[in-house]
Amino acid sequence: MKHLLKMADLSREEIYKILDLADQMKYNQKNGRPHALLEGKSLAMIFAKSSTRTRVSFEVGMWQLGGHALFMLQEDMQHKRGESIEDTANVLSRYVDGIMIRTYSQKEVEELARYSKVPVINGLTDYSHPCQTLADLMTMREYLASLEGRTAAYIGDGNNVCNSLIVGAVKCGMKIRVAHPPGYAPHEDAVRLAGGALTLTHDPREAAAGADVVYTDVWTSMGQDAEKIERLKAFAGYQVNEDIMKLAAPGAIVQHDLPAHKGEEISEETFKKHENEIYDEAENRLHVQKSVMVLLMGKK
């Protein structure tokens, strides 16, 4: 493992290695055990889109590991004025020990990784959100004890979060059912990779029936604001609410990568009932990303 660009690049063994170390990171942090495994190391964080969780969890995570993180807005960088990704990658590699990037195109992240001499971590693109999926898998494992043989239902937009979740869940031996309106299917690569472990449907009730985990994300992702009204119409009927949760397995958990638009993709009531699971999922971004950084940037 040289970079973390998308879930498809990780083997099942690598995913479990990340999750196991993340559990250890969480234990260490909760019990005040020193774990300065990245002392003297720096992480550059490049953001072309907004963030609360990703920014804070990477920055705090780096600090807890004894290292340092730099926040950079992509629009402030010389890349915006024409400097190539090749030069940006080569120069940053002379200063820092890792690069985290949140941007629009997956291709750009892959290109950055091609030229970078230090590990590159994808902090979300329009195609994928692997750090989120790793935190989701960590949280599901905490609540369900094991992932193997479990079923997740994803209800909503076949977006970045959905693509990564499909691949991650299937690699860990889960089944996944995605309910999406016509025209909002997940990416064909994720669908192909998942094979028979994925069911696609337009019926949220079919997806939710007997599921151990019910997952949703916003209907309008960053960069899609011009489509908001059209999307509100298309996704009506795709809300995760108590009617849907009644169909899921007894004790089923709810996951949402956040930020949530309560009253749209999830009802206020269902969010409130399941907020601990959802906030645990957000917290686990910290632990799982510390694990990823140690594995990528730590002593080999």
Q: Is 270 in the site for ligand CP (CB under 6 A)?
A: no
Within 10 angstroms of residue 245's Cβ, the number of other Cβ atoms is 19
CA–CA separation, 95 and 76 (whole Å): 18
Residues 125-144, interacting with ligand CP (CB under 6 A): 132
Sign of the torsion formed by the C-alpha atoms of 256, 257, 261 and 265: negative
Residues 6+ apart with CB under 8 A from 279: none
Please compute Rg for the chain using Cα positions.
Answer: 19
Nearer to ligand NVA by Cβ, of 212 and 257: the residue is 257
- What does residue 49 show for φ and ψ, rounded to 5 degrees? -135, 165
59 binds ligand CP (CB under 6 A): no
Query: In this chain, which stretch among 48-56, 80-88, 185-193, 206-214 interacts with ligand CP, using CB under 6 A?
Result: 48-56
Residue 146's alpha-carbon distances to 19, 196, 285, in angstroms, are: 12, 20, 19
Residue 28 contacts ligand CP per CB under 6 A: no
Q: How many CB atoms lie within 10 A of CB 55?
A: 17
Report residue 216: phi and psi, to 5°. -145, 165
Task: Determine which residue in the list 139, 151, 221, 291 makes contact with ligand NVA, applying CB under 6 A.
Answer: 221
Q: Does 124 bind ligand CP (CB under 6 A)?
A: yes
Told to check if 289 binds ligand NVA by CB under 6 A, we report no
Query: From the list ligand NVA, ligand CP, none, which binds 52 (C-beta under 5 to 8 Å, kind-based)?
Result: ligand CP
| Stretch of 1-9, 46-54, 263-271, 290-298 lying at the interface with ligand CP (CB under 6 A) | 46-54
How far, in Å, CA of 281 to CA of 254, rounded? 10
Number of residues that bind ligand NVA (CB under 6 A): 9
160 binds ligand NVA (CB under 6 A): yes
**Which residues of the shown chain bind ligand NVA in the complex (CB under 6 A)?**
124, 159-161, 217-218, 221-222, 257
Residues near ligand CP (CB under 6 A): 51-54, 124, 132, 257-258
